[in-house]
Every structure is written in C-alpha cells, then in structure tokens.
Structure 1
Amino acid sequence: MKSILKNLIYPYGITLSLLFGISFNACTQKMSESVNNDKAALNGSFEVVKNNLPVNWLVYTPETVKKGNFDLVIDSDAIDGKQSLKFIIRSCSEKGGWLSPGISQEIKVEPNKTYHIKCWIKNNNSKFRIKVDAIDAFTKDVGPTIESSETTNKWTLHELTYTIPEKMDKLRLEINALQPGTLWIDHITIEKDQ
C-alpha cells in the first residue's frame, strides 16, 4: 500500500513543487536596488552614495536587470558637484522600466500643480528615455517623455513640464538607457511652480 501511495504522490509532488517554485520565483524577482537616506533629499547630483548606489533612488543594476550586460559607475565627470551617474552598456533591453539599466524615484506632489523637471545628460551612442508620470494608490496618468539617441559629448539640459492631475499625489521620474553605449546623468531637479 505504501509503494502505491508513493508512486501516486511522487510525480504530482514534483509537478506541484515546480509549479509553486516557478511562480514564487517570478513574484519575488528583485526589480531594483535602493539605499535610503532622509538627509540627502532628492540627491539629484548623486553626491551621496552608499554601497556604490546613489541614495534615495531605485536603481536598475546589473544585479536586477537580468537581460543586460552593463556597468554602473559613480563618475567624476559632473555638471554639478563632484560626481555623476554613468552607465556603460554592452547590451540591454529596449523596453525600459526595470527591464533596462536606469533609475527612478517617486516624490510627493500636490494635485493641480505644475512641476518642472530638469536633467543633464551626456550620451555616447546610447539611446535614453526620460519619463514622468503621476500616480496614486490605484491609477497612473502618463506624463511627458523625452527619448533621444543623439550623441552629445557635452552635458545637455533636458526639461519637462507636467501639471499633476486632480487626486494624484506622487510624481514618478524614470530614466533608462535603451541601447548599448555610455550614458551619464547628473543634476536632476524637480521644482513646483510658485
């Protein structure tokens, strides 16, 4: 009787453990890395770094972006302060978000207020996207996007303006590299109209 029961349960037990193991792994995949520091605020010039990560940013790193080959570097070439964030990309997804090298951050905002987002970029053969959205606990409003593959050997300012829709309370900024090359990011500011 024991051997009959064992023969019945054994193949199903493996199937169930594989099924639950696969779904558990898919749900627990780490999408970004982050280190927080309340004193660093936005940290838009990446001057505060811990464990080789700029604090207060969600960073899509080589550890979390599984289909990519790139390095994340804190670089001394900067437009503001002493350092910038540099991605050296050998391969990556063009989809963006947590599937591509990059950073994101969410900040509390006021509904019906206009915000100005500025970011300095240097780009060598890569393609990048700067994307702004408004979110709340249940919905997302797609805001403006800049996408460029222009190679610039000098720091170039990119600006977006966005009015937060009613009932939204967070602004989400995301910057991604979408193809191989080298991308520098520095001096990100988010300011509300007075």
Structure 2
Amino acid sequence: MKKFFIFIIIVVTTIYLIYNRNQCKYLGCIDFTGIKEYKIKDIYRDEKNLYSALYIRSDNLLRVEMKSDASREESDRNIESRTTTIKSQFENSRSPYPGEISDEIKCDDKFKPIYRDGYVIAYLNSRLTYGACSEEGNAYRSLLTWQYCDKQKKLYQLEFIYPKDKFHEDRLEITCLD
C-alpha cells in the first residue's frame, strides 16, 4: 500500500510539472483580442529560450518571437537593437555608381517606417522583409510591438501583418497571463 501511495505521488508530481512547464508555451501566456483565431503556419525556431513562428488568421499574419529568461534590461536592449536595425535600412546612402541621375540612394518618406511609443508601422515586401521603397515592391504593412512579462521573464515581439490595402493602426491591448 505504501508503494502505491508513493507511486501516485510521483505520477501526480510529474503531471503537475509537465502541465506547468507547458502551460506557458507559445502564445499561451499572453492575451489580446482575437488571439485564439490565429493558427500556426510555420515554426521557425522552438528552442529552450527562443521561439519564433508565423501564425495566420484569414488574410493577415502574426509573426512572433518569444525570448525566455530575459531580464527587463536585456529586453529593452533587444527592442532598441531591433528598432535601430529597421531604421538603418531606410537611411540615405551614397550610390555605388554616382552620376547624372543620383549620387544618393534614398527612400521616399511615404515608405519609411513610422515610430510610435511602443510600436513601429512599416511596409513589407512579398517575402515579409523591410526595405522596399516602391508601391509595387510593398505587399504588406505591419504593426510591430513588444510585450515584456515580468513574472514570466519573457519578451514577446509581435508583428501583426496585413495586406497593405487592409491595414489599420488599431494597436491591440496585450496582457500577460501570469
């Protein structure tokens, strides 16, 4: 009888640990309007401290990157680095072949990202990358935002991607489910 109780305790403990370990997997630890409508399209990375994937909901996409075991300071640096990387793609640069047409390569302000408090609005090409500076080159618009969850020690980078003609700047209220 004693062995049976020990066995039951081990099984219950194992189930509890597995449940708690997987409880906050993927998007399960945050909430925003419509989150349950997104379905996984592609998982890019699924490692111990890094998860990145592409989700789909009708005709819009959600690109997610989640970093675990991240401090607030590390997360702030990560956000600053990502924002700086995006900005650098749209800075004017010298033409490799200066001449009569132009000495400089530059992007029209219309296609440059817009930086707001806590998020970035930008155009993306058909391969979901930044940098196209023409109407024909841009297929999507995105709203890139971040959410740091203190209790989870996780940084979520969420990029809501819409066909450019269906984009709307409604920033969702994202909450941590601690």
Asked if these proteins are the same fold (TM beyond 0.5), I'd say: no
TM-score relative to the length of structure 1: 0.29
Higher RCO (Cα < 8 Å, 6 or more apart): 1
Structure ranking higher in strand proportion: 1
Structure ranking higher in helix proportion: 2
TM-score relative to the length of structure 2: 0.31
